[in-house]
Amino acid sequence: MFPPPPPRAQRTRPLLALLLVAVVCWVAGLIGAYVGGRLAARDAAPSRTASTLGLVQVDPRIEELPAMDVAVAAGVVGPSVVSVDTLAELNGAVLRGSGTGIVLTADGEIVTNAHVVDGAVTVTVRLPGETEPRRASVVASDTARDLALLRVDAVGLRPATFAASADIRVGDPVVAVGFALALDGDPSVTSGIVSALHRTSADPVRALKGLIQTDTPISSGNSGGPLVNSLGQVVGVVTFVATADNGSQANNLGFAISNEELMPSIDRLRASVTSPADTPGFLGVKLAPRIDGGSGARVASVTAGSGADRAGIQVDDVVVAVDGVPITGDAGLVATIRDLSPGDTVQVEVVRDGHARTVSATLGVRPSD
Protein backbone atom coordinates (compact mmCIF):
# COMPACT_ATOMS: atom_id res chain seq x y z
CA MET A 1 0.00 0.00 0.00
CA PHE A 2 1.39 3.39 -1.09
CA PRO A 3 1.77 6.27 1.37
CA PRO A 4 -0.57 9.22 0.80
CA PRO A 5 0.86 12.20 -1.14
CA PRO A 6 2.05 15.16 0.95
CA PRO A 7 -0.24 18.17 1.33
CA ARG A 8 -0.06 20.75 -1.52
CA ALA A 9 1.27 23.49 0.80
CA GLN A 10 4.27 21.35 1.72
CA ARG A 11 5.12 20.78 -1.94
CA THR A 12 4.98 24.49 -2.92
CA ARG A 13 7.08 25.72 0.02
CA PRO A 14 10.45 24.83 -1.64
CA LEU A 15 9.34 26.59 -4.83
CA LEU A 16 8.46 29.74 -2.93
CA ALA A 17 11.81 29.64 -1.14
CA LEU A 18 13.69 29.31 -4.43
CA LEU A 19 11.71 32.18 -5.92
CA LEU A 20 12.41 34.34 -2.87
CA VAL A 21 16.15 33.59 -3.11
CA ALA A 22 16.13 34.52 -6.80
CA VAL A 23 14.37 37.82 -6.09
CA VAL A 24 16.79 38.65 -3.28
CA CYS A 25 19.78 37.86 -5.52
CA TRP A 26 18.33 40.00 -8.32
CA VAL A 27 17.77 42.95 -6.00
CA ALA A 28 21.23 42.50 -4.50
CA GLY A 29 22.68 42.46 -7.99
CA LEU A 30 20.94 45.71 -8.83
CA ILE A 31 22.18 47.31 -5.63
CA GLY A 32 25.69 46.01 -6.25
CA ALA A 33 25.67 47.35 -9.78
CA TYR A 34 24.44 50.74 -8.56
CA VAL A 35 27.00 50.95 -5.76
CA GLY A 36 29.75 49.71 -8.06
CA GLY A 37 28.82 52.34 -10.62
CA ARG A 38 28.87 55.05 -7.99
CA LEU A 39 32.26 53.89 -6.72
CA ALA A 40 33.64 53.71 -10.24
CA ALA A 41 32.38 57.22 -10.91
CA ARG A 42 33.94 58.43 -7.68
CA ASP A 43 37.27 56.76 -8.44
CA ALA A 44 37.40 57.77 -12.11
CA ALA A 45 39.91 60.50 -12.89
CA PRO A 46 38.34 63.84 -13.89
CA SER A 47 38.64 65.03 -17.47
CA ARG A 48 41.85 66.82 -18.40
CA THR A 49 40.38 70.29 -18.82
CA ALA A 50 41.80 73.51 -17.47
CA SER A 51 39.61 75.81 -15.43
CA THR A 52 38.35 78.99 -17.06
CA LEU A 53 38.12 80.80 -13.72
CA GLY A 54 40.59 83.50 -12.82
CA LEU A 55 42.94 83.33 -9.86
CA VAL A 56 42.46 85.38 -6.71
CA GLN A 57 45.18 88.03 -6.87
CA VAL A 58 45.45 91.19 -4.80
CA ASP A 59 46.61 94.59 -5.90
CA PRO A 60 50.07 95.80 -4.87
CA ARG A 61 50.16 96.82 -1.23
CA ILE A 62 50.32 100.42 -0.12
CA GLU A 63 50.63 99.74 3.59
CA GLU A 64 53.20 97.65 5.39
CA LEU A 65 52.45 94.03 6.16
CA PRO A 66 51.17 93.40 9.69
CA ALA A 67 53.39 91.59 12.16
CA MET A 68 53.49 87.85 11.59
CA ASP A 69 51.01 85.78 13.58
CA VAL A 70 51.77 82.24 12.43
CA ALA A 71 48.40 80.88 13.54
CA VAL A 72 46.52 83.58 11.64
CA ALA A 73 48.56 83.19 8.43
CA ALA A 74 48.25 79.40 8.50
CA GLY A 75 44.54 79.63 9.26
CA VAL A 76 43.91 81.85 6.24
CA VAL A 77 45.67 79.62 3.71
CA GLY A 78 44.85 76.28 5.36
CA PRO A 79 41.50 75.69 3.59
CA SER A 80 43.32 76.00 0.26
CA VAL A 81 46.09 73.46 0.97
CA VAL A 82 45.65 69.82 -0.15
CA SER A 83 47.70 66.67 0.10
CA VAL A 84 48.82 65.01 -3.14
CA ASP A 85 49.60 61.28 -3.22
CA THR A 86 50.85 59.29 -6.19
CA LEU A 87 51.41 55.69 -7.18
CA ALA A 88 54.00 54.75 -9.79
CA GLU A 89 55.46 51.51 -11.11
CA LEU A 90 59.15 50.75 -11.46
CA ASN A 91 60.41 47.31 -12.45
CA GLY A 92 57.23 45.71 -11.16
CA ALA A 93 57.37 47.50 -7.82
CA VAL A 94 54.73 49.99 -6.74
CA LEU A 95 56.18 53.25 -5.46
CA ARG A 96 54.28 55.79 -3.41
CA GLY A 97 55.01 59.50 -3.55
CA SER A 98 53.56 62.48 -1.75
CA GLY A 99 53.48 66.24 -1.93
CA THR A 100 51.27 69.25 -1.44
CA GLY A 101 49.01 71.31 -3.68
CA ILE A 102 47.37 74.74 -3.66
CA VAL A 103 43.74 75.24 -4.71
CA LEU A 104 43.60 77.76 -7.55
CA THR A 105 39.89 77.80 -8.37
CA ALA A 106 36.60 76.87 -6.75
CA ASP A 107 35.94 74.25 -9.45
CA GLY A 108 38.88 72.01 -8.54
CA GLU A 109 42.03 73.28 -10.27
CA ILE A 110 45.18 72.78 -8.18
CA VAL A 111 48.84 73.67 -8.71
CA THR A 112 51.75 71.57 -7.47
CA ASN A 113 55.32 70.79 -8.52
CA ALA A 114 55.82 68.75 -11.67
CA HIS A 115 58.28 66.48 -9.86
CA VAL A 116 55.50 65.48 -7.42
CA VAL A 117 53.39 63.89 -10.19
CA ASP A 118 55.89 63.01 -12.93
CA GLY A 119 55.68 59.30 -13.77
CA ALA A 120 52.60 58.73 -11.63
CA VAL A 121 50.08 56.09 -12.71
CA THR A 122 47.42 57.46 -10.35
CA VAL A 123 47.17 60.75 -8.50
CA THR A 124 44.86 61.37 -5.54
CA VAL A 125 44.13 64.54 -3.62
CA ARG A 126 42.70 64.89 -0.12
CA LEU A 127 40.82 68.10 0.46
CA PRO A 128 40.74 69.97 3.78
CA GLY A 129 38.13 68.54 6.14
CA GLU A 130 37.78 65.26 4.21
CA THR A 131 39.03 61.80 5.15
CA GLU A 132 38.75 60.13 1.73
CA PRO A 133 41.01 60.95 -1.20
CA ARG A 134 39.67 62.00 -4.59
CA ARG A 135 41.09 60.94 -7.93
CA ALA A 136 42.85 63.76 -9.75
CA SER A 137 43.91 64.25 -13.35
CA VAL A 138 47.19 65.83 -14.38
CA VAL A 139 45.86 68.53 -16.68
CA ALA A 140 49.28 69.79 -17.76
CA SER A 141 52.86 69.51 -16.56
CA ASP A 142 55.99 71.55 -17.29
CA THR A 143 59.06 69.71 -16.05
CA ALA A 144 61.43 72.50 -17.05
CA ARG A 145 59.61 74.98 -14.79
CA ASP A 146 58.67 72.29 -12.22
CA LEU A 147 54.96 73.12 -12.19
CA ALA A 148 51.85 71.05 -12.89
CA LEU A 149 48.11 71.63 -12.92
CA LEU A 150 45.75 69.04 -11.40
CA ARG A 151 41.97 68.83 -11.51
CA VAL A 152 39.48 67.16 -9.18
CA ASP A 153 35.71 66.88 -9.56
CA ALA A 154 34.65 69.36 -6.91
CA VAL A 155 32.81 72.65 -6.51
CA GLY A 156 32.83 75.28 -3.84
CA LEU A 157 36.52 74.93 -2.98
CA ARG A 158 38.27 77.88 -1.40
CA PRO A 159 40.96 79.27 -3.72
CA ALA A 160 44.16 80.63 -2.26
CA THR A 161 44.86 84.36 -2.50
CA PHE A 162 48.08 85.35 -4.27
CA ALA A 163 50.10 88.42 -3.32
CA ALA A 164 51.23 90.88 -5.97
CA SER A 165 54.50 89.70 -7.51
CA ALA A 166 56.52 92.69 -6.32
CA ASP A 167 55.18 92.62 -2.75
CA ILE A 168 58.01 90.66 -1.20
CA ARG A 169 61.26 91.79 0.37
CA VAL A 170 64.31 90.20 1.91
CA GLY A 171 63.62 89.86 5.62
CA ASP A 172 59.84 89.50 5.31
CA PRO A 173 58.46 86.84 7.68
CA VAL A 174 56.91 83.88 5.86
CA VAL A 175 55.17 80.62 6.70
CA ALA A 176 55.26 77.31 4.81
CA VAL A 177 52.27 74.96 4.97
CA GLY A 178 52.52 71.43 3.60
CA PHE A 179 52.32 67.71 4.19
CA ALA A 180 55.89 67.19 5.34
CA LEU A 181 56.97 63.52 5.22
CA ALA A 182 53.33 62.59 4.51
CA LEU A 183 52.63 62.63 8.23
CA ASP A 184 49.12 61.69 9.33
CA GLY A 185 46.50 64.37 9.78
CA ASP A 186 46.67 68.06 8.96
CA PRO A 187 49.59 69.77 7.21
CA SER A 188 52.70 70.93 9.05
CA VAL A 189 53.30 74.65 9.60
CA THR A 190 56.80 76.17 9.80
CA SER A 191 57.99 79.77 9.83
CA GLY A 192 61.03 81.82 8.88
CA ILE A 193 62.00 84.77 6.71
CA VAL A 194 62.75 85.55 3.09
CA SER A 195 66.52 85.06 2.93
CA ALA A 196 67.10 86.18 -0.67
CA LEU A 197 65.29 86.86 -3.94
CA HIS A 198 65.95 86.05 -7.61
CA ARG A 199 67.91 82.88 -6.95
CA THR A 200 68.39 80.43 -9.82
CA SER A 201 68.81 76.66 -10.02
CA ALA A 202 69.37 74.18 -12.80
CA ASP A 203 69.76 70.45 -13.29
CA PRO A 204 69.58 68.22 -16.41
CA VAL A 205 65.77 68.56 -16.70
CA ARG A 206 64.84 71.97 -15.30
CA ALA A 207 66.06 75.54 -15.07
CA LEU A 208 64.44 77.82 -12.51
CA LYS A 209 64.81 81.54 -12.04
CA GLY A 210 63.16 84.09 -9.78
CA LEU A 211 63.33 81.73 -6.82
CA ILE A 212 62.65 82.87 -3.27
CA GLN A 213 65.21 81.60 -0.78
CA THR A 214 63.91 81.05 2.75
CA ASP A 215 65.18 79.65 6.03
CA THR A 216 61.71 78.26 6.78
CA PRO A 217 62.16 74.54 7.57
CA ILE A 218 61.08 72.48 4.54
CA SER A 219 60.94 68.69 4.23
CA SER A 220 60.03 66.08 1.65
CA GLY A 221 56.30 66.31 1.11
CA ASN A 222 56.26 70.13 1.31
CA SER A 223 56.87 70.31 -2.44
CA GLY A 224 54.05 72.13 -4.20
CA GLY A 225 52.78 73.79 -1.04
CA PRO A 226 52.42 77.50 -0.33
CA LEU A 227 54.86 79.96 1.13
CA VAL A 228 52.72 82.79 2.54
CA ASN A 229 53.11 86.24 4.04
CA SER A 230 51.58 87.48 7.31
CA LEU A 231 48.21 88.00 5.58
CA GLY A 232 48.11 84.36 4.51
CA GLN A 233 48.63 85.36 0.87
CA VAL A 234 50.73 83.02 -1.28
CA VAL A 235 54.06 84.53 -2.32
CA GLY A 236 55.53 81.36 -3.81
CA VAL A 237 55.27 77.60 -4.35
CA VAL A 238 57.74 75.58 -2.28
CA THR A 239 59.82 73.45 -4.64
CA PHE A 240 63.02 72.09 -3.05
CA VAL A 241 65.48 72.31 -0.20
CA ALA A 242 69.26 72.37 -0.54
CA THR A 243 71.16 69.45 0.95
CA ALA A 244 74.80 68.88 1.81
CA ASP A 245 76.87 67.57 -1.10
CA ASN A 246 80.54 66.98 -1.94
CA GLY A 247 81.80 68.27 1.36
CA SER A 248 79.55 71.35 1.43
CA GLN A 249 77.07 72.03 4.22
CA ALA A 250 73.51 73.32 3.79
CA ASN A 251 71.41 74.65 6.65
CA ASN A 252 67.92 76.11 6.30
CA LEU A 253 68.16 76.70 2.55
CA GLY A 254 64.72 76.24 1.04
CA PHE A 255 63.45 77.60 -2.26
CA ALA A 256 60.06 78.55 -3.66
CA ILE A 257 58.93 79.52 -7.15
CA SER A 258 57.91 83.17 -6.88
CA ASN A 259 54.58 84.57 -8.08
CA GLU A 260 56.51 86.51 -10.71
CA GLU A 261 57.33 83.17 -12.38
CA LEU A 262 54.23 81.28 -11.24
CA MET A 263 51.51 83.43 -12.80
CA PRO A 264 52.73 83.32 -16.43
CA SER A 265 53.54 79.62 -15.99
CA ILE A 266 49.93 78.87 -15.00
CA ASP A 267 48.76 80.69 -18.13
CA ARG A 268 51.14 78.58 -20.23
CA LEU A 269 49.98 75.36 -18.61
CA ARG A 270 46.33 76.17 -19.23
CA ALA A 271 47.00 77.12 -22.84
CA SER A 272 49.00 73.93 -23.48
CA VAL A 273 45.89 71.78 -22.88
CA THR A 274 44.32 72.87 -26.17
CA SER A 275 47.27 74.34 -28.07
CA PRO A 276 50.78 73.13 -28.83
CA ALA A 277 53.36 74.19 -26.30
CA ASP A 278 55.27 77.35 -27.13
CA THR A 279 58.56 76.83 -28.92
CA PRO A 280 61.31 78.17 -26.66
CA GLY A 281 63.85 80.64 -27.92
CA PHE A 282 67.40 79.59 -28.80
CA LEU A 283 70.37 81.92 -28.39
CA GLY A 284 73.02 79.48 -29.51
CA VAL A 285 75.53 79.31 -26.68
CA LYS A 286 76.78 76.61 -24.37
CA LEU A 287 77.73 77.68 -20.88
CA ALA A 288 80.35 76.80 -18.30
CA PRO A 289 80.32 77.77 -14.64
CA ARG A 290 82.47 80.63 -13.49
CA ILE A 291 85.18 79.45 -11.14
CA ASP A 292 86.62 82.86 -10.32
CA GLY A 293 83.80 83.91 -7.98
CA GLY A 294 82.26 86.32 -10.49
CA SER A 295 78.59 86.71 -11.42
CA GLY A 296 76.96 86.02 -14.77
CA ALA A 297 76.93 83.16 -17.29
CA ARG A 298 80.22 82.34 -19.03
CA VAL A 299 80.05 81.34 -22.70
CA ALA A 300 81.90 78.09 -23.40
CA SER A 301 81.00 77.78 -27.11
CA VAL A 302 78.88 79.50 -29.77
CA THR A 303 76.79 77.66 -32.36
CA ALA A 304 77.74 78.71 -35.88
CA GLY A 305 75.02 80.73 -37.62
CA SER A 306 72.99 81.19 -34.42
CA GLY A 307 71.66 84.48 -33.08
CA ALA A 308 74.58 84.65 -30.67
CA ASP A 309 77.05 84.08 -33.51
CA ARG A 310 75.49 86.78 -35.70
CA ALA A 311 75.45 89.18 -32.75
CA GLY A 312 79.19 88.70 -32.24
CA ILE A 313 79.07 86.91 -28.88
CA GLN A 314 82.35 85.11 -28.28
CA VAL A 315 83.75 82.30 -26.18
CA ASP A 316 84.63 83.48 -22.65
CA ASP A 317 82.19 86.38 -22.84
CA VAL A 318 80.19 86.66 -19.61
CA VAL A 319 76.49 87.42 -20.06
CA VAL A 320 75.41 89.71 -17.20
CA ALA A 321 72.00 90.96 -18.42
CA VAL A 322 69.28 90.31 -21.00
CA ASP A 323 66.95 93.19 -21.83
CA GLY A 324 68.20 94.93 -18.69
CA VAL A 325 67.36 92.01 -16.39
CA PRO A 326 70.46 90.85 -14.47
CA ILE A 327 71.80 87.37 -15.21
CA THR A 328 73.61 86.06 -12.14
CA GLY A 329 74.35 82.50 -13.29
CA ASP A 330 73.86 79.83 -15.94
CA ALA A 331 70.34 78.87 -14.87
CA GLY A 332 69.18 82.47 -15.10
CA LEU A 333 70.26 82.77 -18.74
CA VAL A 334 68.83 79.37 -19.71
CA ALA A 335 65.45 80.13 -18.12
CA THR A 336 65.30 83.68 -19.50
CA ILE A 337 65.92 82.60 -23.09
CA ARG A 338 63.55 79.62 -22.71
CA ASP A 339 60.72 82.00 -21.80
CA LEU A 340 61.16 83.91 -25.07
CA SER A 341 60.24 82.82 -28.61
CA PRO A 342 62.07 82.35 -31.90
CA GLY A 343 62.18 85.66 -33.72
CA ASP A 344 62.39 87.73 -30.54
CA THR A 345 65.26 90.21 -30.49
CA VAL A 346 67.00 90.75 -27.16
CA GLN A 347 69.67 93.11 -25.89
CA VAL A 348 72.44 91.02 -24.38
CA GLU A 349 74.97 92.70 -22.12
CA VAL A 350 78.28 90.90 -21.98
CA VAL A 351 81.59 91.53 -20.26
CA ARG A 352 84.64 90.84 -22.42
CA ASP A 353 88.18 91.39 -21.18
CA GLY A 354 86.80 93.45 -18.32
CA HIS A 355 84.74 95.77 -20.54
CA ALA A 356 80.93 95.74 -20.80
CA ARG A 357 79.18 95.93 -24.14
CA THR A 358 75.62 95.33 -25.33
CA VAL A 359 74.77 93.42 -28.51
CA SER A 360 71.46 92.75 -30.22
CA ALA A 361 70.63 89.07 -30.84
CA THR A 362 67.66 87.53 -32.64
CA LEU A 363 66.61 84.19 -31.20
CA GLY A 364 66.17 81.13 -33.36
CA VAL A 365 64.87 77.56 -33.04
CA ARG A 366 66.94 74.96 -31.25
CA PRO A 367 68.43 72.46 -33.76
CA SER A 368 66.74 69.05 -33.76
CA ASP A 369 69.96 67.27 -32.77
List, by residue number, the catalytic residues.
Answer: 115, 146, 223
**Pairwise CA distance, residues 216 & 250, whole Å:** 13
Query: Going by DSSP bridges, is the β-strand pair 345-352/318-322 parallel, antiparallel, or unpaired?
Result: antiparallel
Q: For the purposes of burial, counting CB atoms within 10 Å of the CB of 77, is it exposed (0-12), middle (13-18) or buried (19 or more)?
A: buried
- Which strand (E) or helix (H) includes residue 109? strand 109-112
Length, in residues, of the chain: 369
Instruction: Quote helix, strand, coil % in the chain, to nearest 5.
Output: 20, 35, 45
DSSP assignments along 81-95, one per residue: EEEEEEEEEETTEEE
Residue 201, strand partner residues: 208
User: Measuring CA to CA, which residue among 171, 259, 258 is closest to residue 215?
Assistant: 171
**Pairwise CA distance, residues 133 & 316, whole Å:** 54
**Pairwise CA distance, residues 57 & 74, whole Å:** 18
- Looking at 203-340, which runs of residues are DSSP E strands? 207-214, 226-228, 234-241, 254-258, 285-288, 297-302, 318-322, 325-326
Q: In sequence order, what are the residues at sequence separation of 6 or more whose Cβ sits closer than 8 angstroms to the Cβ of residue 267?
A: none
**Pairwise CA distance, residues 58 & 48, whole Å:** 28
User: Measuring CA to CA, which residue among 169, 80, 88 is closest to residue 125?
Assistant: 80
Q: In sequence order, what are the residues at sequence separation of 6 or more whose Cβ sits closer than 8 angstroms to the Cβ of residue 278?
A: 268, 341
